[in-house]
Amino acid sequence: MKKYVLTALLLGILMACNTSPEGFKLEGTLSGEMENGTQIFLKKTDEDNQLIEVDTALLENGKFTFTGTSEMPELHYLLINRVRGNIPVVLENGSIEVNAQKDSLAFAEMKGTLQNDLFANFLEESRSLAQRARSMSDEMRNATAHQDTASMASLRDEYFELQEEAKTFELKFAKEHPEALISALIIEKVMATKALPENEILELYETLTPTIKETVVGQRIKNKLDKLASTSIGVKAPNFSAPTPAGDELALNDVLGKITIVDFWAAWCKPCRAENPNVVQVYNKYHDKGLNIIGVSLDRRAEDWTKAIEDDGLVWNHVSNVQYFDEIAELYNVRAIPATFILDENGVIIAKDLRGPALENKIAQLLQ
């Protein structure tokens, strides 16, 4: 009988350990003078990065509750009616606690599940770095007011060091916590800012656990990496065609030279316009040796596009759908300009995003 009871207890423990929560219960406490019945909104971002409402709860005696099920961890936001700011929280199955003060939602505490505990640890260090940045900003204002140039120079150096420290902290967190949703969000941010080479971003992504790779943000990263792979160095550049200023259709494959630059730019892009004299110089110097350029404008108005071509003396081939960041930009995963792709005679990408002396040095090396 004793043996039977012991066996039953062990089975019960094992079953409990292997049973995951079937849903989530998010219990929040909000301090500060708030009326009963105040609406608390649970929201998340959609594909266009716009907040959409998921659920609504009512505040009663400073407390509110959300319940439901979550297929996978996903970042959500709590918003309080008529209160500025929001509280980020990772929605996942399990018991989640959120404690906040009405006038300082940015310092809310969340705990109770793996992802929220990891998120809280990340936020604690991030807030410390942010506080140091605010202190430096205050000191800089004081130094500027007193024309203390020595202190201003020192503070600028410290601030740049702090920026590097923040970047290092985020990357270190992502590397050390492949099981954290915030790590995937860090990787996505790194991709958007191009803070790391594509191969290093891929390496970071590959370290993520299967669960995190299956999340919404994990899938977004994979889709972006797949697009990047289609225009990575060593890959044949995707062909495209679009109207010229004269209205004729022109394809990339029609203008391939010994070396070809695909130059994404726009009349409204100040860095592009500043770089144009250098591109003109490179083209004039190496066109007779086999350099071709096709400019892909991301302008919204044809008259702006054609005027900029004339004003800047851009005598090479040009195309544009005059639709801002259009399907060609999407095909090449171009999210910011200027962006350049250097192709060999077979249309294979051999370099990317070179400007100034680096562009001329590369072209000179290829056409010598």
Per-residue pLDDT reduced to its tens digit, 338-363: 999 999 999 999 999 999 999 999 99
Check which CATH number belongs to the domain holding 24 and give it. 2.60.40.10
Give the DSSP letter of residue 16.
H
Q: How would you class 241 by CB atoms within 10 Å of its CB: exposed for 0-12, middle for 13-18, buried for 19 or more?
A: middle
- How many other CB atoms sit within 10 Å of the CB of residue 235? 13
Residues 255 and 333 both lie in one domain: yes
Which residue, of 230, 259, 286, is where some domain finishes?
A: 230
The number of domains in the chain is: 3
**Strand bridging mode 291-297 / 259-265:** parallel
Whose structure tokens read 């500043």?
A: 274
Q: Say if residues 105 and 86 touch (Cβ distance below 8 Å).
A: yes
**Longest alpha-carbon distance in the chain:** 96
Q: Using 50 as the pLDDT threshold, list the residues of the chain that sit under it.
A: 1-19
What are the percentages of helix, strand and coil residues in the chain, rounded to 5? 45, 25, 30
Sheet holding 24-31, edge to edge: 63-68, 24-31, 94-101, 109-111
For the four alpha carbons of 26, 27, 31 and 34, in that order, the dihedral sign comes to positive
Of 212, 223, 222, 220, nearest in space to 73 by CA: 212
In a domain, 12, yes or no: no
In a domain, 254, yes or no: yes
In a domain, 155, yes or no: yes
In a domain, 9, yes or no: no
Residues 136 and 207 both lie in one domain: yes
In a domain, 325, yes or no: yes
Residues 351 and 250 both lie in one domain: yes
Residues linked to residue 27 through DSSP beta bridges, in sequence order = 65, 97
Q: Which long-range contacts (CB under 8 A, 24 or more apart) does 81-85 make?
A: 81/38, 81/39, 81/40, 81/41, 82/38
d(CA 158, CA 148): 15
In a domain, 34, yes or no: yes
Q: Which amino acid is at 354?
A: L
pTM over 0.75: no
**pLDDT at position 7:** 46
Q: Could you tell me the two tokens for 274? A: 């500043």
Residues 346 and 245 both lie in one domain: yes
Of 74, 75, 60, 179, nearest in space to 118 by CA: 179
Residues 251 and 203 both lie in one domain: no
325: domain range? 241-367
Residues 125 and 64 both lie in one domain: no
Residues 168 and 272 both lie in one domain: no
Which residue, of 177, 197, 230, is where some domain finishes?
A: 230
In a domain, 4, yes or no: no
**pLDDT at position 263:** 98
For residue 317, the SS3 value is strand
Per-residue pLDDT reduced to its tens digit, 227-284: 888 898 999 999 999 999 999 999 999 999 999 999 999 999 999 999 999 999 999 9
Per-residue pLDDT reduced to its tens digit, 56-69: 999 999 999 999 99
**Strand bridging mode 24-31 / 94-101:** parallel
Which residue, of 112, 130, 165, is where some domain finishes?
A: 112
Check which CATH number belongs to the domain holding 334 and give it. 3.40.30.10
Average pLDDT of the chain to the nearest whole number: 91
**pLDDT at position 20:** 57
For residue 243, the SS3 value is strand
R_g (Cα) of the chain, nearest Å:
27
Q: Please, which residues have CB within 8 angstroms of residue 217's CB and are 6 or more apart in sequence?
A: 74, 75, 181, 184, 185, 188
Residues 249 and 139 both lie in one domain: no
In a domain, 235, yes or no: no
Residues 216 and 181 both lie in one domain: yes
